[in-house]
Amino acid sequence: MATSLALAMGAATGALAQNGEPVKVGFVYVGPVNDGGWSQHHHEAAVKLKEHFGDAVELIEQESVPEGPDAERVLTQMALTGADIIFATSFGYMDQVESVAAKFPNVKFEHATGFKSGPNFANYSARFYEGRAVMGTIAGMMTETDKIGYLASFPIPEVIRGINSTYIHAKKVNPDVEIRVVWLNTWYDPAKEADATQALIEQGVDVVLAHTDSTAPLATLEKSGGYGFGQAADMAQYAPAPRLSSIIDDWAPYYEERVQAVMDGSWETAATWSGIADGMVGIGAFSDAMPEEVKAAAQEVMDSIVDGSYHPFTGPLNKQDGTPWLAEGEVADDGALAGMSFYLEGVTGEIPN
């Protein structure tokens, strides 16, 4: 009953959209829209989308939606209120999007950072590991204790790629470097992020990279000393120190393109994965706390990624246990990267299951 009702509604709104009625665009966020990081940047892209299309689109946003079963309720609710396209902006919504997409074939679903898809279910992500290559280079050169720290959220390929990319690029410029990974099992818990940053500092780490969503790590670094990076957002309020540079997510062009496709009736499922060259991953201004040679080295890595002459995962690279992964000169293919579930040689510790 609910399904047929939704079908009727979906068909109705589809028809209305062609008659000049606004396209309803739904956004689901894992954190609050003012977290200063990940969710805020998706929200800002949604606001830009609205500015771009004006009255032709109507936004439906839902913030602080936990990953897991509750997301299914929120997604269903959005589909029932007539959303034409829904962007689910966190990895942990993947199974819920899959299940809701099957129930509402006329609604388009877009899932960020996942790897599943379907006829009305596309996924999109950014090649953050390219940004991590630049940050890793900076971290490797800036550390004086030869220890860099990494706040990891959940053991998903996205995060593991970031750790690996950071480490191998830090190692390239500083052969003595060690990486200390702390798993937090959350995307957003400022107090825990702050405590973990403090713990890393106590263990002699002096450069911390974060794969969580708040600005708490930078606030802690500012208080206790050490360097860090903006994550998802520029976090320029912490420049020139502790924030050295940042990985900035720019989703707005993608959102505009996909909503335009819905308006034109040309939307098709896709698996989009864009990097620095396409502008989906932005690198924040290098701060003046970085010496010129560090800026130059970081710029060089970035330029070589943009012009395609260098791929961050280029062999020879071994897995953590020493077994070969990529031979000399071999470049990782997207399939292998999308499912990356192992550390590279030199990273210590174990990935939780």
Partner 1 sequence: MDISLINLIPLLMAASTPILLAGLGELVVEKSGVLNLGVEGMMITGAITGFMAAVATGSPTLGFLGGAAGGAALALVFGALTQGLMSNQVATGLALTLFGLGLSALLGQAFVGLKPPVTPDLPIPGLSQLPVIGPMFFDHDLMVYFSLFAVAAVWAFLRYSRPGLILRAVGENHAAAHALGYKVTRIRLMAILFGGAMAGLGGAYLSLVRVPQWTEGMTAGAGWIALALVVFAAWRPFPLLIGAYLFGGITVLQLNMQAAGVNVPVELLSMSPYLVTILVLVVMSAAGAAAGAPGSLGRPFHASR
Binding site for partner 1 (CB under 8 A): 31-32, 34-36, 64, 149, 178, 180-183, 185-186, 188-192, 194-196, 198-200, 202-205, 214-216, 219-220, 222-223, 237, 348-350, 352-353
3-state secondary structure of 224: helix
CB of 190 to partner 1, least distance (A): 4
CA distance 255 to 294: 34
DSSP letter at 331? B
> What's the closest the beta carbon of residue 214 comes to partner 1, in angstroms?
5
Q: What is the dihedral of CA 302, 303, 308, 310, to 10 degrees?
A: -60
Give me the phi and psi of 276, to 5 degrees please: -65, -40
Minimum CB distance to partner 1 smaller for 56 or for 199: 199
Least distance (Å) between residue 351 CB and partner 1: 8
Task: For partner 1, give the closer residue by CB, 140 or 217.
Answer: 217
DSSP 319: B
Contact 23, 84 (CB under 8 A): yes
Nearer to partner 1, 288 or 350 (CB): 350
Least Å distance between CB 301 and partner 1?
Answer: 26
- The phi and psi torsions of 258 (rounded to 5 degrees) equal -70, -35
Of 9 and 200, CB closest to partner 1:
200
Q: Give just the sign of the alpha carbon dihedral 135, 330, 126, 211.
A: negative
- Whole-number minimum distance, CB 172 to partner 1, in Å? 21
CA pair distance 32, 11, nearest whole angstrom: 32
Q: Please say which residue, 198 or 299, places its beta carbon nearer to partner 1.
A: 198
